Structure 1
Amino acid sequence: MRIYLPESIGLRIRLIRIKDLVNEADFLSIGTNDLIQYLMGTDRSNIHLSEYLEPFQPDVLKVLDGIIKETKESGKEISICGEMAGDPGMAKILVGLGYRHLSLNPHLIDKVGEVIGRDTLKDLEKEVREILKVKTLAGIKQILSEGRR
């Protein structure tokens, strides 16, 4: 019987060691709620800082892009856990980045699946490359509201 060794990525210190973690673990899981909170240095309970907890923040997307690139090189599986995967627009971005394992509430599966299924994988990847060039949350939200997502 093999015991699989997971690694959960949710803290900034883990990001610094991402190459080591990918090599040491059998698979990885990103705790997106913690990742965003600690990456952006915010308190989830402070409503005045809620803008900084948005998963569409450019820095968050760039970190997720970096993590998936490191993981793909190793051939290891990686999953996304947290509220982020339950947002249909964000789920499309995650799939476009290369994530294939999303953990979400069961009541959101049909909605997220329907939205993701509207585009080809190639289209999602192309749109994500465009989004990764945007430097502001407002700019990303503008792209999303224009119906290009």
Structure 2
Amino acid sequence: MYTDRIQILKSKLDELLSANPVPYLNLTESQLPKKGGVYLISAQVAGKNRPYYVGRASTLARRLYTNHLMGNASTARLKKYMVESGEAASMEAAKEFLRQNCSIQWVFEDEYRNRGALEGFFTSVLFPKYGIAPEGKSA
């Protein structure tokens, strides 16, 4: 009954992980798609590529550039988490970390329910450093 759905999720994960990483360094909004999808932000830390954040967006360009990179604490969750954890001293320091160490991969998905399912599946498999919070707290 669920075999087809599980196969779709696995296939999309393979697609995500085989996508060419796009570094945040020198990134402009125009380089990103204006389509919906699910994304992975990874960081190079101590010579290893580590999943940092999984998310979804109806417009990848807006979410990945305008919110995550350029946004403030209310729109740039990853930067906010980095500051709250002490990994970055400020939002500006977190932004510089993204630019120097992080890259993005994504898969397209137009339908919002499918984006939600993919985000949950990718998060459970990749287990990113940020974005999973204790119950009762926002992620």
State the TM-score, normalizing by the size of structure 1: 0.28
State the TM-score, normalizing by the size of structure 2: 0.30
Which has the higher relative contact order, 1 or 2, with Cα contacts under 8 A spaced 6 or more apart? 2
Higher strand share: 2
Higher helix share: 1
